[in-house]
Homo-oligomer: A and B are copies of this chain.
Amino acid sequence: MKPTLRAVAEAVGVSRSTVSNAYGRPDQLSPQLRQRILDTARQMGYPGPDPTARSLRRGFVGAIGVLFTSRLSYAFTDPFAVRFLTGVAEAAERHESSLLLVPLPGEPAGARKAVENAAVDGFCVYCAGDEEGILDTIRGRGLPFVTTSARPREGDRWVGIDERAAARSVAEHLTGLGHRRVALLGHDVLPDAPTGPLRVTDVADVPHPTTRDRLAGFADAFAAAGIRWPELTVLTAPDNTRVAGAAAVRKLPAGVEPPTAVLACSDVLALGALEVLRGAGQDPRPVSVTGFDDIAEAAPAGLTTVRQSGEDKGRSAAALLLDPPPDATTRQILLPTTLVVRTSSGPVPRS
């Protein structure tokens, strides 16, 4: 058994408070006494104040929780999520704060428990599917949090982009190039839908908030070009991965009237789509493909996409948590996006 602060106090012959001060408030006792305490502590093998006990007493932990909707191990697979984490980590480093990554089980009840049991001072919630349930649990604990994806409530801290406008911008790029017959590609478009084309009556039905906003943005542009929602093909992928994107595109009905462009809700999906559409080369007419995020792999692949900075998002989120601006108005940060046109998009080929 490791010795406790109490044991050290007894060994040195001083009170517990004095030993505590020797560690936490050097200015509260004479240097000699402090040294004597530290020395005997070392000798006895006392590892210093127990972090858990200290947290309990002090009322704060020194760690912020990071919550990902999907399985935690998946998050590391998503390049954009990793950049977000990088940003969070940078801010945390500056504040000497640790990051607690909490794996959320699939079922809401389990997720709830996980959030309740996390020993943290606040949360960064990254794009949670069941975001509201999770946020409610956090609110229940009375802890501060920052969201990134869903539209926030008044007063909630939030950092994000104008998803819909950004999505509209790529789509307008395509309508400008003459594209009219297109397929939209997103993940979790409808609950439990099989990979492939889908009939979506109303964009509002899409459960995943980011997918919903981006699809809506795409639709805005096409509506402006005279194409209504039912005329758009919607492809769904089971998750946000390259292979899922590839699989979804393979399910495009063969033969008649293939789309001239695929608009994906993420670069990862778009890269999967590109693989399929450029790979076999079955169709001689190249199909335009666009993505979203501008991850590192987008540039070498020549992918036209919308750029947003994952690092900035993470950094801002953590900063909002760690030293919130006093005025509530600046607690919602809207980050910029840019349309990046590369070679994966071009004019509609002449038939």
Which residues does A use to contact B, with CB under 8 Å? Answer: 2, 45, 47-48, 50-56, 61-63, 71-73, 75-77, 82-83, 85-87, 89-90, 92-93, 96-103, 105, 114, 116-119, 140-142, 300
Contact = CB atoms under 8 A, between A and B. Distances in A.
A100 B116 CA distance: 16
A208 to B, nearest CB: 21
A100 B103 contact: no
Question: Which interface residue of A52, A72, A114 has the most chain B CB atoms within 10 A?
Answer: A52
B73 A93 contact: yes
Contact of A52 (B56, B71, B82): B56
Contacts of A119: 51-52, 55, 61, 63, 119
A144 to B, nearest CB: 14
Given A55-B119, A119-B55, A47 B96 contact: no
Contacts of A140: 45, 47
A338 to B, nearest CB: 22
Contact of A103 (B54, B61, B98): B98
A47 B142 contact: yes
Nearest to A54: B117
A101 B101 contact: yes
Given A56-B53, A61-B119, A77 B73 contact: no
A89 B86 CA distance: 16
18 contacts: A2-B141, A2-B142, A48-B116, A51-B116, A53-B56, A55-B119, A61-B119, A63-B100, A72-B89, A73-B87, A73-B89, A76-B83, A77-B86, A93-B105, A98-B118, A99-B100, A119-B119, A300-B300
A210 to B, nearest CB: 21
Nearest to A51: B119
A246 B263 CA distance: 35
Contacts of A85: 76
A43 to B, nearest CB: 12
A119 B51 CA distance: 5
Given A51-B116, A119-B119, A73 B86 contact: yes
A269 to B, nearest CB: 17
A336 to B, nearest CB: 22
Q: Lowest 4 A-B CB distances belong to which pairs?
A: A73-B89, A76-B86, A51-B119, A93-B103
A86 to B, nearest CB: 4
A63 B89 CA distance: 18
A56 B48 CA distance: 15
A246 B112 CA distance: 47
